Amino acid sequence: MRAKLQSDKAVRKAVVKMEWYRRVLKSIVKNGLATSTEKEWARAALKSSSRAASVVRVRNRCLITGRPRSVFNVFKFSDLVTRELAMRGQIAGLLRSGGK
């Protein structure tokens, strides 16, 4: 489980590092004033860049269990962990529904 969390951190780090560069290249491709040569160069540069640096590669994972599914963005925990922590009263401002 820890290996997935470590690889997720590496992907997020690569995304942050390459975000500006990828945005510039994408804006060149979409720019109406850029020449076709510039657009071709930008497309080639995007294609040759690391796939790990793409934003769509980032997967939200639970900080405690590493579970990739049903993660609440507010808490960064999966629904199972969120429920458990809420039952114990360890999440400030979160109350059980209909209970005491």
pLDDT value, residue 61 = 87
Question: Confidence band (pLDDT; 50, 70, 90) for 96?
Answer: low
3-state secondary structure of 92: coil
Structural domains of the chain, ranges and CATH numbers in brackets: 1-59 (no CATH), 60-100 (4.10.830.10)
3-state secondary structure of 79: helix
Tell me the C-alpha distance between 22 and 54, whole Å.
8
What are the tens digits of pLDDT across the range 26-85? 888 888 888 888 888 888 988 888 777 778 788 888 888 888 889 988 888 998 898 888
Is 47 buried (19+), middle (13-18) or exposed (0-12) by CB count in 10 A?
exposed
